[in-house]
């Protein structure tokens, strides 16, 4: 075989190998809906990155920035946490700090007016604060060990797993402020606060009386 022939065969082999490698190149892409697509075409330079499956979007109520990790979002949906508090309440501040330290997403309702105090009485049967609800479970007064026990049982993490920039919704009064009446005879009414079942009784099979 002459040298020119061998050179031509060598170049042909290189071309075939390059063509085969190009044909086997497969690109994995994820569209905006999270669907995985395999294609031999590279993604466009201006393609929008797919949303991470590890987070969920906010509900749009302005209470959070970004999303919650999926596992934490599931716990918060099953067992939402609400803190009932008031100003100048040291136990309320301590309870709030515990929730923040653990990274628990929670809503806060404050007692500021006589209407708020009446709503609290209907809710817990007492006027003392703080009160913490975890799902249907109601905890009266602050206790680090008790609150932690119930948060653990509900599945909340012991340390912060919130995304950077997350913030809980601002505290709101227990009774929403009513607009001023348009007529002298009109009177403002408030919706009664739904009663929450009392804690489950303690038993040998449930020594902590945990109920969600």
Q: pLDDT band for 162, please (50, 70, 90 cuts).
A: very high
**Mean pLDDT over each residue of the chain, to the nearest integer:** 74
Q: What is the pLDDT of residues 38-71, one digit of tens each?
A: 556 666 655 544 443 333 333 333 344 347 899 9
- The pLDDT value given to residue 67: 79
- The pLDDT value given to residue 152: 96
- Which residue in the block uniquely carries the two structure tokens 């797993």? 161
Residue 144, token pair as written in the block: 């680090």
Segment 149-159 mean pLDDT = 95
For domain 70-173, the CATH architecture is 3-Layer(aba) Sandwich (3.40)
- The pLDDT value given to residue 128: 94
CA distance 31 to 49: 8
CB contact set of 69 (below 8 Å; sequence gap of 6+): 54, 55, 161, 162, 163
CA distance 137 to 200: 8
Q: What is the pLDDT of residues 167-206, one digit of tens each?
A: 999 999 999 876 556 655 555 555 555 555 555 555 554 5
Give the start-to-end residue ranges of the domains of the chain: 70-173
pTM of the model: 0.57
């Amino acid at each position: 075989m002459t040298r020119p022939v061998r050179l031509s065969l060598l170049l042909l082999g290189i071309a075939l190998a390059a063509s085969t490698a190009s044909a086997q190149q497969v690109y994995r892409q994820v569209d905006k809906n999270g669907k995985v697509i395999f294609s031999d075409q590279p993604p466009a330079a201006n393609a929008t990155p797919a949303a991470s499956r590890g987070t969920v979007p906010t509900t749009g109520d302005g209470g959070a920035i970004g999303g919650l990790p999926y596992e934490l979002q599931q716990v918060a949906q099953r067992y939402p946490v609400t803190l009932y508090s008031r100003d100048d309440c040291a136990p309320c501040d301590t309870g709030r700090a515990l929730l923040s330290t653990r990274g628990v997403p929670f809503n806060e309702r404050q007692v500021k007016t006589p209407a708020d105090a009446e709503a609290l009485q209907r809710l817990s049967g007492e006027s003392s604060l703080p009160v913490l609800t975890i799902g249907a479970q109601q905890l009266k007064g602050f206790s680090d060990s008790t609150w932690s026990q119930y948060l653990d049982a509900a599945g909340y993490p012991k340390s912060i797993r919130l995304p950077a920039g997350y913030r809980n919704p601002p505290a709101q009064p227990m009774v929403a402020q009513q607009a001023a009446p348009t007529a002298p005879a009109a009177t403002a009414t408030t919706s009664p606060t739904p009663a929450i079942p009392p804690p489950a009784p303690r038993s040998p099979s449930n020594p902590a009386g945990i109920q969600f």
